[in-house]
Structure 1
Amino acid sequence: MLSSPRRLLVTGGAGFIGANFVRYWCDRYQCDRIVVLDALTYAGNLQNLAGLEGKNNFRFVRGNICDRALIDNLLVTENIDTIAHFAAESHVDRSIVEPNTFIQTNLVGTFTLLEAFRQYLENVKVTNRALFLHISTDEVYGSLNQSEPAFTETTAYNPSSPYSASKAGSDHLVKSYYRTYNLPVIVTNCSNNYGAFQFPEKLIPLICINILLGKNLPIYGDGQNIRDWLYVEDHCTALDAVINRGKIGETYNIGGNNQVRNLDLVNILCNLMDELAPNLPVSPSHNLITFVKDRLGHDRRYAINTKKIYNHLGWTPITSLEEGLRLTVAWYLHHADWWRSLLSK
């Protein structure tokens, strides 16, 4: 049992996964203190946290994770015992065009947080179990062919893009702070998330929005690239299990157990949009599918083995791909004001 309510600093808490986690945690653990730190760059959006501003246990701070003075101040004044580190540049295409931003945020930012938390814990005794939770990606493992087994926590890192390389580097930094300084850390590597509040440049919201606007549905290469898809609310329940029951120093892979080819996924979305959306500009929406030049260094297949988190923590995803996609499509249909305001970004 915890001796007192937990006090969390959630970096990147106005982004897609971070905001879903903040909403989940505020609803489930109403006595805990949640402090969100977000720089509100293009993918961070205060609308994602709408309705939480008036809660006594919630605080939003606009700032950068590379700002050491700000981090130090928040840790002390808020008496933080848990850092849930979501903040990251995460879009592969952007990392190919502008890799320096990814190095600064994903590597330097993570280092700044680790150093601040390390020195804070040397001087402050927190009531609860201290934890630095680093949320990462399955892309650090590289690409699989059709016959290779799914990624496990011991799969060698083999990143393919500046994005995945920067996340791999941040994973190594976090693990080194456990081994060198005994900093209480846990690393999670998740597969592709989807759900509400996802920025429109990502595949699923991009397809939904383009269908509504009658625009082409771009698919890289031959569309046979395979991804494992994880409904974001299932991801939140997994992080709940890790925070409360995870073993310090461990890595846990979190996946949805839904491996799907990109072309098949787009066809599912087209079918759902044709069913749920009235008066589409182009119908059937499959007619909008357009194959485009493949992404540089495009990984062929990702797959996550979730046995460890199931065996150790009893977690497994509960949302089927069909159910999750239907919920996601419906969300974008009913929140046009949210995504229209982001299109210029």
Structure 2
Amino acid sequence: MNKNQVWKIALILFLVVCAAWTVWPPQDKLKQGPDLAGGTSLIYDIDTTDLDKKEKKGLAQNMIPILMRRIDPMGVANVKMRPQGDTRIEILLPLSSVDTRVKREAFEERLDALTKENVNLMTVKRALNEPKKQRQITFDAFAGDSTERQTILQELATTYDAFKEKSDQRASFEEEMEKIKENITKAGLNADSVEQKLLEWSKLDKKALTKAIDEYVTRNKPEEKASIIPFVESESRKQLGKYVAVYTKWYDVVNALAEPETGETILYKKASLKLAELNLNVNQLTDILDLPKDSIQRNTSIEEFKVTFADRADKIDAVIAAHAEYQKVGGRLDDP
């Protein structure tokens, strides 16, 4: 081997070592494409409605740079695009790395641990219709060791029971009034006309009401020849008195339900809202975490979450830490 060959071999070995040093370790320095690492291939047709043949020519090729600036402006996502003819574009999305998947799974596990303490509102509301003893067992399971939850659940049960009782009474009175209306019609009076008098009559004392009913019956007594239904005067007075009595009860129940501040309906709704406030909104939290780390809004919102859900502050911190790790490797095109 002559001297020139030795130098050539030495130079080649030196260059090989330098090249190897540049890409070592390969799992960190070399990024495999979708053909090696796996991934997703998507082919999209371009809407060419109203375009002529000349305008379609090279359309896909011309659109690729525009799309790349929108999807991967920094060129770090390893997204590939290539034209498939003039009106189709193939987009190649690489499979996320093992490290990315591990950190994403860790982040999702922290989120799951955080949301496990949320209350299933539909399950709780279904439990309201259970017998009280069984309902209490269900509520105890939901509340766990939380005194706050137990208090809110008890308030929900109390307001629901009152709301349901009044609602049932209202339905019962309405059913009874419908039957009375039928009897009034059978007695020979116009039930719709009577209904218009109910509010006025319900405000009268017993003596004034009796007089008002007598006058109404006398004034509205149908002529015997004109009336198909036989008129029974005593029955008419009886049914009208009964109608007013039931209407008055119905009116009181409706007011008890509908009172804007202290009505049973609003009290039950307020208790339901308190129950909903026990739940942490994960989507809202993740949106906040996606804000820039030095954002005042981000830091303020996180602190508000910790104050609101003080019993879960440690789990919120765990989510924040896992999100920070995942954010280092994840991205908008991270493929689950």
TM-score by length of 1: 0.20
- Greater relative contact order (Cα < 8 A, sep 6+): 2
The answer to which structure has the higher strand fraction is 1
TM-score by length of 2: 0.20
Larger Rg: 2
